[in-house]
Amino acid sequence: MFGGEDAKRKLLNDIHILDLETVSWTEVETTQPPPSPRYDHTATVHAERYLLIFGGCSHSICFNDLHVLDLQTLEWSQPENREDLATSRAGHSGAVISDEWFLVGGGDNKTGTLETIVLDLTKLVWSVVTKVNERHPLASEGISLCAALIGGVKYLVAYGGYNGKYNNEVFIMKPKLKEPAPRKLLLSPAAAAAAASVSAAYLLGPGGQTSVPKAEDPSEDSEIKHPHQESTVDTSRAGEEKRLLELSLAEVREENSKLRGKLDEVKNTQSELAKELLSVQTQLAEERSRCFKLEAQIAELRNLLQSLPAIEADVLSLMGKISAIEQTPTTEKHASRGIFGWIGGGDS
């Protein structure tokens, strides 16, 4: 079991395995970068060894990436993907017939997905099977899909889903299947490199000469017939195997180089985002400081506003006193001059 979300809607990208005999779960550790946390994706197992994950979504975006987990080495890998064929979708459904994985329905948070696509599990190549119109029941999220054997013929059966309304229609399609091909081991980069190096060391003996051990068969005569011809055949076969292994090793190295380039790009992007985050945090701290200062000024103004009625009362009181002084009679003003006014020759 891969991914999903927990009770707090936290997205997950871990792997758990259920032991069907003990009915107990075990969380396993994997190597290489896993798919990003997501839910509403599809998953299937190929050749009883490889777990394939496609699509799904986070809380903001939908995905169209394909990831493969080698269940023997527990190593993740991400094959190349054609985005124009494998459109982003979540809430879709999948079913496997022979070595082909059919995906139907789903959506991208805007509209329902119109294309029914198929993945060739032996080559990991996408193709479009059919395309429907908008609002068609097959362009629904939460649609169910299964493979059914009817009269010795395999069919795809789709039912239900939601695309603005709940659907209860059944759709049946007879896929045009290709000829079954030998199953191909989807070796991870590390496993492929190890296999190539070990095989090359086995084929090349001391001095760079080809050496292929030959099993002894006690039923054969002690006399060896046509030694030169058998040696030539063995050498040719070993050389061909060596050439194939070298090509495989070169492909693995090229893939590793691409992965390193993508990793460097991710690291650079992460560094730039960290710088932007630091800048935003600094600006946020400055804005908080300004807010604190404004709040202090607002508090001072509130205190002044609260004391304004008392100031107005004092002003009114002073104005009353001034008015009373101005209205005092003239005799009272003269009397108030006292002895100094009389000596000065004032009016008696």
Q: Measuring CA to CA, which residue among 121, 63, 56 is closest to residue 93?
A: 56
Question: Tell me: the pLDDT tens digits for 270-285?
Answer: 888 988 898 899 888 8
What pLDDT sits at residue 48? 94
Q: Which of 55-59, 159-163, 307-311 has the weakest average pLDDT?
A: 307-311
Dump pLDDT digits (tens) for 45-70: 999 999 999 999 999 999 999 999 99
On whether the CB atoms of residues 38 and 32 are closer than 8 A, the answer is no
pLDDT of the residue at 11: 97
- Is the model's pLDDT at 199 over the cut of 50? no
Rounded to whole angstroms, the Cα distance separating 208 from 175 reads 51
SS3 120: strand
CB 118 within 8 A of CB 101: yes
Q: Which residues pair with 67 in a beta bridge?
A: 53
Task: Report pLDDT digits (tens) over 110-133.
Answer: 899 999 999 999 999 999 999 999
Question: Would you say residue 219 has pLDDT above 50?
Answer: no
For 8-51, what is each residue's pLDDT tens digit?
Answer: 999 999 999 999 999 999 999 999 999 999 999 999 999 999 99
Q: What are phi and psi of 183, to 5 degrees?
A: -70, 140
- Exposed (0-12), middle (13-18) or buried (19+): which is 257, by Cβ within 10 Å? exposed
Q: Are 117 and 127 in contact (CB under 8 A)?
A: yes
Per the prediction, the chain carries an average pLDDT of 82
CA gap 335, 348 in Å, rounded: 10
Q: What is the mean pLDDT of residues 77-100?
A: 91
pLDDT score recorded for residue 81:
78
pLDDT of residue 250: 84
Distance CA(327)–CA(79), nearest Å, equals 103
Distance (Å) of CA 218 to CA 215, 221, 222, 223: 10, 8, 9, 12
**241-295 per-position pLDDT tens digit:** 788 888 888 888 888 888 888 888 888 888 889 888 988 998 888 898 889 899 9
Residue 197 in tokens: 């190096």
- To the nearest whole percent, how much of the chain has pLDDT over 70? 78
Q: Which two tokens stand for residue 161?
A: 């889903």
Q: Which structure tokens are listed for 218?
A: 């006690």
pLDDT level of residue 78 (50, 70, 90 thresholds): very high
pLDDT at 181: 53
Coil, strand, or helix at residue 190?
Answer: helix
Q: Give mean pLDDT, residues 327-335.
A: 59
Concatenate the DSSP letters of all residues of 280-335 into one string: HHHHHHHHHHHHHHHHHHHHHHHHHHHHHHHHHHHHHHHHHHHHHHHTS-HHHHHH
Confidence of residue 96 (pLDDT cuts 50, 70, 90): very high
d(Cα 125, Cα 226) in Å, to the nearest integer?
46
For every residue of 46-113, DSSP letters joined together read ETTTEEEEE--B-SS-B---EEEEETTTTEEE-----TTTS---BS-EEEEETTEEEEE--B-SSSB-
Rounded percentage of the chain residues whose pLDDT exceeds 90: 49
Predicted confidence (pLDDT) per residue in 167-193, tens digit: 999 999 999 876 655 555 555 555 555
Question: What order of strands is seen across the sheet that includes strand 125-131?
Answer: 93-97, 100-104, 115-120, 125-131
Question: CA 140 to CA 166: how far, in whole Å?
Answer: 9
Query: How big is the chain, counted in residues?
Result: 348
Q: Can you give the pLDDT at residue 223?
A: 40
Question: Burial level of 165, CB count in 10 A (0-12/13-18/19+)?
Answer: exposed
CA distance 204 to 130: 51
pLDDT (0 to 100) of residue 51: 97
Q: DSSP string spanning 4-43?
A: EE-TT--EEEEEEEEETTTTEEEEE--BSPPPPS-BS-EE
